């Protein structure tokens, strides 16, 4: 029986069904037309079940979640369908009835905890009053209960921290407060919209564990929206894959990951560099862009990007149909694509120069330090004695949590900041690819002018030579030369990042520094940019410094990796070696915190996330900087700082306990 038919048969909600969504449609009335963000979505959530919704930005996953509680802001409107919570239609409730459902029956956790907490109200006030209302208890009881919940979500000293203001807490702490607030009224359903996207991997691992344990303890169901397939594997029971406002595949997490049946799901899973993938393999990528949601979509929405497209896809949109036990997909092909190889015909192994760089050193950092003084007495040690080398044709990956100083190293390398002490040697020129392609271009300049700017500033060539060079650069990064006349806002995020690469290459640099070049991009586009960077490195033989918190990408792209913690390099070595055999306890914790897109591996893992957060860089400890969070810390670690032995290319670990 297919999914739609099964839905129709369960008109009388079964005892286990908590939430049932039928044919939900949501539209946004914008100046340039009506955007149908959610286009007929149907699914059910059983009691205590964790359902993940995955999709790219613009796929309608957040609009769908917001529609369930009618939390959409002005131009958005639910135009059709039913949302049945325990058999009660939410769309038929009045605003005041709905307010009783929100918060009491359904708790919500949003992406940005700073904007979801009231900045001028103490945490206690924000927690206690809703609890008094929702649970019908007195102020003292509610306060005691709130403290209990703050303790459960892992906030140290909850009795004291409950009277703090949100700005006195870190991002991870605020997100914990949000979770405590959502769970404190003992809801039956928790809707979490990208609750860990703004957080570091180690904090993300902690938050995910807290959410998982507490919801299963309270028997609450969960609707979890994310774009991170690794998290889904770690966390969810069932997965709904959304594309262009519709669910294209729905099923149990094991089935989706082991036997994906929709080409989109298959491609998404293929684009993530696995833990074992070698550099000679090119990442499969999804070409093209998602459809314009303002226009009516004829046939299957994915047809323009699908490798298995045929005539029927252009005429008719497939509905969800049965692919196994509780597994449905919306595709005319019974098993989707035959193999992921169909995704990229040119995927053939690239010719790898496996030498991983020559002996010529192009970048050398010696005892580099950078201090920022925030006031007369306070000094932040952003970079605290870093020695690194990059050889020609080599990619150095720098990983670490936010605040570890990796971006400051990049800025020092490019001369955007002056070092406090130590020296930087660069043979040739260093250029940069910035994180956010939206703000790294002057909006008033055309793409051609942006790429040409370095040549103009350096007075290279005359006008015709420069425009020829610009065309060549734009073609080199895989764009059409006609893009030169457009403005940045007319390009997609991925295209903009290609332009950023073209500009960085304009002056023939010897090293290109890329600071989180893919973190603002969608999964499907990310693979395109990573492939481009790897290809260019092979082709031009230049050095790369790749800074990211995405460990799987860093492993795939880098020859050598430096792990940074509080302004210091704690481990350095060849990428494969570091991942296969991490020696520093911090490196180990980082690698363990990364969710792997494979439910089987995730299920076998015993997740004991790294406790605590990054200490303040204002007053660094005398001993090992990591001692406060390290499970192996001894008195030696707290009193003596382990030094990084200064060998050139060998493996280096700054730990007393590393063997």
- Following CA atoms 337, 338, 340, 345 in sequence, which dihedral angle do they give, to the nearest 10 degrees? -90
Choose, by CB under 8 A, the member of 12, 31, 345, 659 that binds other proteins.
31
Pick 120 or 457: Cβ nearer other proteins: 457
Which one of the spans 31-39, 207-215, 330-338, 375-383 is the region binding other proteins (CB under 8 A)?
Answer: 31-39
CA 50 → CA 85, 222, 467, 606, 631, distances in Å? Answer: 16, 5, 55, 19, 31
CB of 267 to other proteins, least distance (A): 27
Q: What are phi and psi of 508, to 5 degrees?
A: 50, 65
CB of 77 to other proteins, least distance (A): 11
Contact pattern for other proteins over residues 457 through 496, marking x by CB under 8 A? xx--------------------------------------
Coil/strand/helix, residue 656: coil
Which one of the spans 450-458, 544-552, 571-579, 621-629 is the region binding other proteins (CB under 8 A)?
Answer: 450-458
CB of 34 to other proteins, least distance (A): 4
Cα 202 from Cα 611, distance rounded (Å): 8
Q: What are phi and psi of 375, to 5 degrees?
A: -150, -165
Contact pattern for other proteins over residues 543 through 572, marking x by CB under 8 A? ------------------------------
Choose, by CB under 8 A, the member of 40, 428, 454, 478 that binds other proteins.
454
For the record, the structure tokens of 508 come out as 């023939």
The yes or no reply on residue 442 touching other proteins (CB under 8 A) is: yes
The burial of 611, by beta-carbon neighbours within 10 Å (0-12 exposed, 13-18 middle, 19 or more buried), is given as: middle
Residue 305 · residue 313 · CB < 8 Å: no
Rg value, the chain, Cα: 26
For the record, the structure tokens of 535 come out as 């290809």
CB of 443 to other proteins, least distance (A): 7
Q: What are phi and psi of 474, to 5 degrees?
A: -65, -35
Strand order in the sheet with 189-193: 106-109, 189-193, 221-226, 50-54, 238-243, 246-252, 327-329, 321-324
Choose, by CB under 8 A, the member of 46, 453, 472, 535 that binds other proteins.
453
Query: What is the maximal distance between C-alpha atoms in the chain?
Result: 78
Cα 508 from Cα 8, distance rounded (Å): 63
Site for other proteins, residues 402 to 441, rule: CB under 8 A: 411, 414-416, 430-432, 434-436, 439-441
Cα 499 from Cα 484, distance rounded (Å): 9
CB of 426 to other proteins, least distance (A): 12
Site for other proteins, residues 70 to 89, rule: CB under 8 A: 79
Distance of alpha carbon 322 from its chain centroid, rounded?
Answer: 31
CB of 494 to other proteins, least distance (A): 17
Pick 115 or 639: Cβ nearer other proteins: 115
Choose, by CB under 8 A, the member of 3, 7, 24, 36 that binds other proteins.
36
Contact pattern for other proteins over residues 143 through 182, marking x by CB under 8 A? ----------------------------------------
Pick 444 or 647: Cβ nearer other proteins: 444
The yes or no reply on residue 507 touching other proteins (CB under 8 A) is: yes
CB of 71 to other proteins, least distance (A): 20
CB of 25 to other proteins, least distance (A): 9
Pick 516 or 602: Cβ nearer other proteins: 516
Count of residues in the chain: 659
Cα 503 from Cα 432, distance rounded (Å): 9
The yes or no reply on residue 503 touching other proteins (CB under 8 A) is: yes
The yes or no reply on residue 243 touching other proteins (CB under 8 A) is: no
Site for other proteins, residues 277 to 296, rule: CB under 8 A: 294-296
Neighbours of 86 (CB within 10 A): 14
Pick 29 or 99: Cβ nearer other proteins: 29
CB of 449 to other proteins, least distance (A): 9
Pick 277 or 507: Cβ nearer other proteins: 507
The burial of 345, by beta-carbon neighbours within 10 Å (0-12 exposed, 13-18 middle, 19 or more buried), is given as: exposed
Which one of the spans 105-113, 211-219, 449-457, 537-545 is the region binding other proteins (CB under 8 A)?
Answer: 449-457
| Number of residues binding to other proteins, judged by CB under 8 A | 33
Name the nearest CA neighbour of 54 among 599, 523, 586: 523
CB of 290 to other proteins, least distance (A): 16
Which one of the spans 12-20, 30-38, 305-313, 603-611 is the region binding other proteins (CB under 8 A)?
Answer: 30-38
The b/e string for 266-288 (b: 16+ C-beta within 10 A; e otherwise) is bbbbbbbbbbeeebebbbbbbee
Where along the sequence are the contacts to other proteins (CB under 8 A)? 27, 31-34, 36, 79, 294-296, 411, 414-416, 430-432, 434-436, 439-445, 453-454, 457-458, 503, 507
């Amino acid at each position: 029986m297919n999914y739609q038919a099964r839905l129709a048969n369960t008109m009388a909600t079964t005892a286990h069904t908590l939430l049932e969504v039928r044919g939900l449609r949501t539209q946004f009335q914008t100046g340039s037309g009506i955007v149908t963000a959610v286009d007929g979505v149907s699914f059910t959530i059983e009691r205590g079940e964790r359902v993940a919704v995955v999709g790219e930005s613009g796929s309608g996953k957040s609009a769908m979640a917001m529609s369930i509680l009618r939390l959409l802001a002005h131009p958005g409107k639910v135009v059709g369908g039913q949302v049945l919570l325990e058999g009660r239609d939410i769309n038929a409730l009045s605003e005041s009835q709905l307010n009783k459902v929100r918060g009491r029956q359904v708790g919500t956790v949003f992406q940005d905890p700073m904007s979801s907490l009231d900045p001028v109200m103490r945490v206690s006030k924000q927690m206690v009053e809703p609890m008094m209302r929702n649970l019908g208890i007195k102020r003292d009881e509610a306060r005691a209960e709130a403290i209990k919940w703050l303790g459960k979500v892992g906030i140290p000293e909850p009795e004291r921290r409950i009277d703090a203001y949100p700005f006195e807490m870190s991002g991870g702490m605020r997100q914990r407060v949000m979770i405590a607030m959502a769970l404190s009224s003992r809801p039956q359903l928790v809707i979490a919209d990208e609750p860990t996207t703004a957080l570091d991997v180690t904090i993300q691992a902690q938050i995910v564990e807290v959410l998982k344990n507490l919801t299963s303890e309270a028997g609450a169901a969960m609707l979890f929206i994310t774009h991170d397939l690794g998290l889904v594997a770690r966390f969810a029971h069932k997965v709904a894959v959304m594309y262009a406002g519709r669910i294209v595949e729905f099923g149990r997490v094991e089935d989706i990951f082991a036997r994906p049946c929709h080409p989109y799901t298959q491609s998404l899973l293929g684009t993530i560099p696995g833990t074992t993938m070698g550099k000679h393999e090119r990442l499969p990528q999804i070409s093209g862009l998602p459809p314009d949601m303002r226009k009516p979509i004829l046939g299957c929405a994915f047809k323009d990007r699908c490798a298995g497209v045929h005539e029927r896809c252009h005429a008719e949109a497939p509905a969800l149909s049965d692919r196994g036990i509780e597994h449905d997909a919306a595709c005319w092909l019974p098993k989707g694509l035959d193999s992921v190889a169909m995704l990229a015909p040119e995927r053939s192994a690239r010719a790898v120069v496996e030498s991983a760089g020559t002996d010529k050193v192009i970048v050398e950092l010696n005892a580099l330090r950078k201090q920022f003084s925030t006031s007369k007495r306070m000094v932040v040690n952003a970079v605290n004695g870093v020695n690194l080398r990059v050889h020609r044709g080599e990619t150095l990956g720098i990983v670490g949590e936010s605040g570890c100083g990796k971006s400051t190293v990049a800025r020092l390398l490019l001369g955007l900041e002056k070092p406090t002490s130590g020296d930087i040697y660069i043979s040739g020129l260093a250029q940069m690819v910035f994180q956010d392609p939206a703000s790294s271009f002057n909006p008033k300049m055309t793409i051609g002018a942006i790429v040409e700017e370095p040549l103009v500033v350096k007075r290279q060539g005359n006008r015709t030579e420069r425009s020829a060079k610009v065309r060549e650069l734009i073609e080199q990064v895989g764009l059409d030369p006609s893009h030169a006349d457009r403005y940045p806002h007319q390009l997609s995020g991925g295209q903009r990042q290609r332009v950023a690469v073209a500009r960085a290459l304009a002056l023939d640099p010897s090293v290109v520094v890329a600071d989180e070049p893919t973190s603002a991009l969608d999964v499907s586009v990310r693979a395109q940019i990573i492939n481009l960077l790897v290809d260019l490195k092979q082709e031009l033989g230049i050095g790369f410094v790749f800074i990211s918190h995405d460990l799987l990408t860093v492993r795939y792209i880098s020859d050598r990796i430096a792990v940074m913690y509080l302004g210091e390099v704690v481990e350095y070595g060849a990428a494969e070696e570091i991942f296969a055999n991490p020696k520093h306890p911090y490196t180990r914790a980082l690698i363990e915190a990364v969710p792997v897109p494979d439910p089987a591996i995730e299920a076998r893992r015993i997740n004991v996330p790294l406790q605590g957060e990054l200490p303040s860089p204002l007053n660094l400890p005398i001993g090992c900087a990591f001692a406060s969070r390290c499970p192996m810390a001894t008195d030696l670690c707290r009193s003596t700082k382990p030094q990084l032995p200064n060998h050139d290319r060998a493996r280096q670990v700054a730990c007393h306990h590393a063997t």
